[in-house]
Amino acid sequence: MSLEVSPSASVPAPVDTAAPRLRVLLQTALDSAREAVVLDEAQKAREALGQYSESVRLLREVLARVRAEGGQEVARREVARVQAILDTYTSRISILRQIYRIPAPTFDGEAQ
């Protein structure tokens, strides 16, 4: 299964003073996702899970920041695009955990 992150997955940053920081955060999340895909394809499940998890964490932060900007049409489109990417990687985390019987971490960071 190929989960390659395409360059088109990049989301243009909203135009405001926080845009450069948001863009860097988004790029970091996408870079983490790309690394996760490489590890996943190399069948390094635990390492891939770590990278997918980091990407999901960063994407959630991007979503929170974009949503906080308000109801601009651009922001709504960005939220939908980032949410789709987030959903893909959240699903892959779940699948890998099931396949390799890797327990989900608890809130304190330890596996269940």
pTM of the predicted structure, to 2 decimals:
0.77
Spatial neighbors of 92 by CB under 8 A, at least 6 apart, are: 3, 36, 40, 52
For the stretch 22-47, pLDDT in tens is: 889 999 999 999 999 999 999 999 99
Phi, psi of 4 (to 5 degrees): -55, 135
For the stretch 69-93, pLDDT in tens is: 766 676 778 889 999 999 999 999 9
Q: Spell out the domains of the chain, with CATH numbers in brackets.
A: 18-100 (1.20.58.80)
Report how far residue 18's alpha carbon sits from residue 47's, in angstroms, rounded to the nearest whole number: 32
Higher confidence at residue 5 or residue 28? 28
